[in-house]
Amino acid sequence: MAVYEGGCLCGTVRYRAEAVPINSRVCHCRLCQKAIGAAFNARVLFGIGDVILDGPAATVNSSADLERGYCPLCGTTIFSRRQKAGIIGLTCGSLDEPSLFEPEMHIFTASKQPWVRLEDGLPQYEGAPPPV
């Protein structure tokens, strides 16, 4: 089993997950685009209890049930969390070893940027993915 470790640009916020991920996916929704400041959000999903956060992560709700965590000092987006569902998605870019991220699907492709070409053969969903 891989150990997923990572954190923010300045090192103030760190995390560790030593568990099998629920899944790994690339989200193309507009909320993720704005929150990440990029064309998509690549994230690896875990149960909340499987991730140990260390440091003063700040949070903001981007929708009624989705909380996004970031470093209050450098601004690095670190996670998205759904408390009621018990899941947390760690951003691929914040991983110490981003090569551990192996996407399984693309979601909300109806909002993907027109210049993004999805030619990797992975499943694509125009909206939300099937339930986990």
> Smallest Cα–Cα separation from 80: which of 101, 100, 97, 66?
66
Residue 53 lies in a domain: yes
- pTM as predicted: 0.93
What is the structure's pLDDT at 130? 85
Question: What CATH number does the domain containing 66 carry?
Answer: 2.170.150.70
Q: Which residue segment(s) compose the domain that 75 sits in?
A: 4-111
Residue 125 lies in a domain: no
Confidence of residue 132 (pLDDT cuts 50, 70, 90): low
> Smallest Cα–Cα separation from 2: which of 46, 35, 36, 39?
46
Residue 80 lies in a domain: yes
> SS3 for 12?
coil
What is the structure's pLDDT at 117? 96
Distance CA 41, CA 26 (A): 6
Is residue 1 scored above 90 in pLDDT? no
Residue 120 lies in a domain: no
Residue 102 lies in a domain: yes
Confidence of residue 131 (pLDDT cuts 50, 70, 90): confident
State the total domains in the chain. 1
Q: Give the pairing type, strands 51-54 and 105-107.
A: unpaired
Residue 40 lies in a domain: yes
Is residue 87 scored above 80 in pLDDT? yes
Helices (H) and strands (E) in the chain, counts: 1, 10
Kindly state the average pLDDT of the residues 80-102. Answer: 96
